[in-house]
Chains A and B, each alone.
Chain A
Amino acid sequence: MNDQHLAVRGASKRFGTASVLDDLSLAVARGEFVSLLGPSGCGKTTLLRCIAGLLRLDAGSIAVAGRDISALPAHRRNVGVVFQNYALFPHLTVAQNIGFGLRAQGVRAAEAAPRIAEALALVRMAEFADRPVTALSGGQQQRVAVARALVVRPTLLLLDEPFSALDRKLRETMQVELKHLLREVGITAIFVTHDQEEALVVSDRIAVMNAGRIEQLADPATLYQRPASLYVLDFVGQSMRLGGTVSAAGLGEVTVETRLGTVRAPGAFAPGSRVVVAVRPEAVTLTETPPGGRNTLAARVSEVSFLGSRTQLHLDLPAGEDRGVVELPRLPPGIGPGSAVPLAFPIADTMVFPAA
């Protein structure tokens, strides 16, 4: 991206001996929504707090709109934050919570009032203006938190697991609603989440984090179809993956011997390398005589899960690096736990990674 709105360079942060951010770099374009996706404890909140100025980096720099803000305290950065569980001021009403930032920045009451009203209307909370925030539901509290952060017109909005306190049904509605609202406002936003489906819904690009580093930053389709590592492959979506050894290599393609048979995949590894081949569940079909350009394997079904619009077959594989999930639009007759099935998938869709 050329129009870098946020640029984090070489960010490192330690707590005692634990390295929580490890030489991390991240660039976000103006108006873009980026998700930070990673398991609990990988440093997502720490990165947000460093960007907001609530924590100091040990090394590295943070620039917003070309200006280095690393040395500024939080209250001079103008970076908005929607906290996990919202951190609304419990002694203030909805309107007072939203007006807090304006008042803190010395905006006169006459100018603040219409901006508060506008923010209330934006999140459809106008009729709750004078309620205490403690009397609101989770979804309403989230809207107040968003309005409170937006009303001061931050240059960047950071949201730390904004949906984690909501139940599943409400979460799905709020994800779409919030994405739409932020797009309308035209702000640059970073969502933190540990839920890959949520990341796919709300963001333009997803940064997959692993132990204080960004493993891959890409748009959802690339992340799904071309994961940069086994870690990303496993974190985003499901797959069938088989450990094996490269038996032949050449012309940008490798041949791998796996427990279930020989697999060819685009890639470059020296013969003898330990690798893992993988394919996404929906790329696999059950045919004994497939058209050309496909790998074929024989496997046994251990479990069948009906998911409505599709059916998942779990394959009988020994525990370890092998994992087998295949998805079919509908279950062919006669297939159930214990059935032997022929698997076919395009060589072009087969991925190969160095074994972990």
Chain B
Amino acid sequence: MKRDPLGLLALPGVGYLALVFLAPLLLLLWSSVRGPEGWTLDGYVRLLGDPYYRGVIAASLQLALITTGGALLLGYPAAFALARARGGWQVVLFALIFLPLTVSIIVKSFGWGIVLRRDGILNWALLNLGLIERPVRMIFTEGALYAGMINVFLPFMVLPIFAVVRMLDPRLPDAAATLGASPWFSFRRVTLPLSLPGVVAGVSLVFSLSVAAYVTPSLLMGDRYMTMSMVMAKAFLNLRDWQLGAAMAAVLLAMALAVVVGAAALQRRLGGR
């Protein structure tokens, strides 16, 4: 077998990842099943046996699913608009979608505060439109959390879909139309399957990021709302309960992996027809 010398160029990157990512990860997984008295599943038993922790896992999963779904619903058409926009419009759309990435989460949450407070802009607007009679509590509600999460993670959905859609040949839908395909048929059979690699990348990214979210939920919800990452941090830093923290990390990893693998499998099934 001939060896590709260019493959050697990947070595530094792979080595770096192995050092800073793979090794700690393996160490973590190891410590989740290794106690002072040898092999144990104690961490997992305490985690999954406790209704409180099960509730946290369920809440994190729900948050990640809603965030991913919302980002997909908003991001898929946005990626198309971005890819189809010409000249100046593309710059404007790009800025609108990606500027949030450049703004620190602290600044963003301050901004949400201004919008969502009892005397905030949204309440003021709704009051003046006569849609509500008195100010509604918005901040520290789950609705506000979902809106904030989608705001934070939307660019990670748009970018990979945009990258794929931009390369789609615009004559393919034209060809479909001349063959008698309605716009919907053409979308379902041509555009959608060809854009799936971008969707899979976007869904994988946003789900992995949002299931592990820490900062945004704590800023928008305070202490009353616990995600898996918050439990993990508490276990490691406050309780010094490494086994519990590592078990939670393993569950988190398994969930993210399941979605990434599942999305890729779904693409293979839908893309081939």
Binding site for B on A (CB under 8 A): 49, 52-54, 73-81, 83, 87-92, 96, 100-101, 103-105, 148-149, 152
Least Cβ distance of A187 to chain B in Å?
14
Residue of B nearest to A105 (CB): B180
Least Cβ distance of A109 to chain B in Å?
13
Please report the C-alpha to C-alpha distance between residue A75 and residue B177 in the assembled complex, in whole angstroms. Answer: 5
Please report the C-alpha to C-alpha distance between residue A88 and residue B178 in the assembled complex, in whole angstroms. Answer: 12
Please report the C-alpha to C-alpha distance between residue A249 and residue B174 in the assembled complex, in whole angstroms. Answer: 56
Please report the C-alpha to C-alpha distance between residue A268 and residue B175 in the assembled complex, in whole angstroms. Answer: 50
Residues of B within 8 A of A92 (CB): 273
Task: Say whether A152 contacts B180, CB under 8 Å.
Answer: yes
Task: Say whether A89 contacts B190, CB under 8 Å.
Answer: yes
9 shortest interchain CB distances as A-B pairs: A101-B179, A104-B181, A74-B177, A87-B171, A87-B175, A81-B178, A105-B180, A75-B177, A104-B180
Given known contacts A83-B171, A104-B185, A90 and B179 CB-to-CB distance under 8 angstroms:
no
- Pick from A49, A75, A87, A90: contact of B180, CB under 8 Å: A75
Task: Say whether B182 contacts A87, CB under 8 Å.
Answer: no
B157-177 near A? 1/0 per residue, CB < 8 Å: 000000000000101101111
Residues of B within 8 A of A49 (CB): 174
The answer, yes or no, to whether B120 is at the interface (CB within 8 Å) is no
Residues of B within 8 A of A73 (CB): 177
Binding site for A on B (CB under 8 A): 169, 171-172, 174-183, 185-186, 189-190, 193-194, 271-273
Task: Say whether A104 contacts B189, CB under 8 Å.
Answer: yes
Task: Say whether B180 contacts A78, CB under 8 Å.
Answer: yes
Least Cβ distance of B269 to chain A in Å?
12
Residue of B nearest to A49 (CB): B174
Task: Say whether A90 contacts B194, CB under 8 Å.
Answer: yes
Please report the C-alpha to C-alpha distance between residue A83 and residue B178 in the assembled complex, in whole angstroms. Answer: 10
Please report the C-alpha to C-alpha distance between residue A86 and residue B171 in the assembled complex, in whole angstroms. Answer: 9
Residue of A nearest to B168 (CB): A90
Residue of B nearest to A78 (CB): B180
Please report the C-alpha to C-alpha distance between residue A90 and residue B171 in the assembled complex, in whole angstroms. Answer: 12
Residue of B nearest to A99 (CB): B179
- Pick from A54, A96, A104, A105: contact of B273, CB under 8 Å: A96
Residue of A nearest to B171 (CB): A87
Given known contacts A74-B174, A87-B169, A104-B189, A148 and B179 CB-to-CB distance under 8 angstroms:
yes
Task: Say whether A91 contacts B178, CB under 8 Å.
Answer: no
Residues of B within 8 A of A78 (CB): 180
Least Cβ distance of B86 to chain A in Å?
12
- Pick from B169, B171, B176, B182: contact of A100, CB under 8 Å: B176
Task: Say whether B179 contacts A100, CB under 8 Å.
Answer: yes
Residues of B within 8 A of A52 (CB): 174, 178
Task: Say whether B169 contacts A75, CB under 8 Å.
Answer: no
Residue of A nearest to B270 (CB): A91
Residues of A within 8 A of B172 (CB): 87, 89
| A53-B178, A80-B178 known, 11 other contacts, Cβ within 8 Å | A53-B177, A54-B174, A75-B179, A75-B182, A87-B171, A87-B172, A89-B190, A91-B194, A100-B189, A104-B181, A152-B179
Least Cβ distance of B16 to chain A in Å?
35
Residues of B within 8 A of A149 (CB): 178-179
Task: Say whether A91 contacts B193, CB under 8 Å.
Answer: yes
- Pick from A54, A88, A96: contact of B177, CB under 8 Å: A54
Please report the C-alpha to C-alpha distance between residue A78 and residue B181 in the assembled complex, in whole angstroms. Answer: 10
Residues of A within 8 A of B175 (CB): 81, 83, 87-89
Residues of A within 8 A of B190 (CB): 89
Please report the C-alpha to C-alpha distance between residue A241 and residue B183 in the assembled complex, in whole angstroms. Answer: 53
Residues of A within 8 A of B273 (CB): 92, 96
Residues of A within 8 A of B194 (CB): 90-91
Least Cβ distance of B192 to chain A in Å?
10
Residue of B nearest to A79 (CB): B178
Task: Say whether B176 contacts A104, CB under 8 Å.
Answer: yes
Residues of A within 8 A of B181 (CB): 75, 100-101, 104
Residue of A nearest to B169 (CB): A87
Please report the C-alpha to C-alpha distance between residue A207 and residue B194 in the assembled complex, in whole angstroms. Answer: 38
Residues of B within 8 A of A101 (CB): 179-181
Least Cβ distance of B195 to chain A in Å?
11
Please report the C-alpha to C-alpha distance between residue A105 and residue B177 in the assembled complex, in whole angstroms. Answer: 11
Residues of B within 8 A of A152 (CB): 179-180
Please report the C-alpha to C-alpha distance between residue A89 and residue B188 in the assembled complex, in whole angstroms. Answer: 13
Task: Say whether B179 contacts A83, CB under 8 Å.
Answer: no
Q: Could you pull out 29 A-B pairs where Cβ atoms are within 8 angstroms?
A: A52-B174, A52-B178, A53-B177, A54-B174, A73-B177, A74-B174, A74-B177, A74-B178, A75-B176, A75-B178, A75-B179, A75-B180, A75-B186, A78-B180, A79-B178, A80-B178, A87-B172, A87-B175, A89-B175, A89-B176, A90-B194, A91-B194, A91-B272, A100-B179, A100-B181, A104-B186, A148-B179, A149-B179, A152-B180
